[in-house]
Structure 1
Amino acid sequence: MSENEQTEKKENAVMEALEDVIDPELGIDIVNLGLIYGIEIKDNLCTVTMTLTTMGCPLSDMISNDIHNAAESVEGVDSCDINLVWYPIWDMSKMSRFAQIALGIGG
């Protein structure tokens, strides 16, 4: 397996692990909410680029800790940085069909 394939496999594993990180206000994981914009792994450092549903929504210590724990649970990832961005602006269209149905806004 090439180095690029190994990196992609780790990035996919991190995305899968992040599905266990639940937004405490909405009760839906941050992946299905569409908050994760990208995952990049360089050496053993993972950078999670993400946004929040609103600028006023604080990235609580709990969510931040959950993101770090999830990413660092993947073999070959030793540490995780969170790159919080506000563009592109999050809106409900970024949510998965699952999240929309769970919140009663899609179907």
Structure 2
Amino acid sequence: MTEHLTDRIRDALRVVIDPELGFNIVDLGFVYDIAVTNGEACITMTATTRGCPAAVFLKEGVARAATVPGIRSVNVVMTFEPPWTPAMMTNEARTELGFANSN
């Protein structure tokens, strides 16, 4: 059941688009972890840099999008460890954004 909720949350987070890169945060590799306990989702995520001006916007978008059926509350934790790199993106996102050779 928890795995199913985690998958539904991950799918729902695809609607959150980074305004600078124009791609969803899941495919960009910003979502580090999704844990569900007793109807509470804890999502650990990042942004491109520590001073990213879109970080608050992204965090708020994640909190709204993650409220899927079966989730009563959402806690979003922003971290910068490990630092985000283009290698964390899906192959599709890297290709689309011109990072096809990033490792």
TM-score, normalisation: structure 2: 0.90
Q: Does 1:14 align with 2:9?
A: yes
* Structure 2, unaligned runs of 5 or more: none
The one-letter code sitting in structure 2 at the alignment partner of 1:99 is A
Equivalences for 1:28-107 in 2 at 5 Å? 28-58=23-53, 59-60=55-56, 62-72=57-67, 74-106=68-100
Secondary structure at 2:98 match in 1: coil
Q: CA deviation at 1:101?
A: 1.4
The one-letter code sitting in structure 2 at the alignment partner of 1:82 is V
Secondary structure at 2:5 match in 1: helix
Cα RMSD for the two superposed structures: 1.3
Identity of aligned residues (%): 36
| Cα shift readout 1:47-90 (whole Å, capped 9, x = no counterpart) | 11011110110313x32232112100x11011111111111111
Say which one has the larger Rg. 1
State the partner residue of 1:25: 20
Q: Structure 2 CA distance, aligned partners of 1:63 and 1:91?
A: 17
Give the ranges of 4+ consecutive aligned residues of structure 1 lying more than 6 Å apart after TM superposition.
none
TM-score, normalisation: structure 1: 0.87
Aligned residues: 100
Secondary structure at 1:106 match in 2: coil
* Structure 1, unaligned runs of 5 or more: 1-5
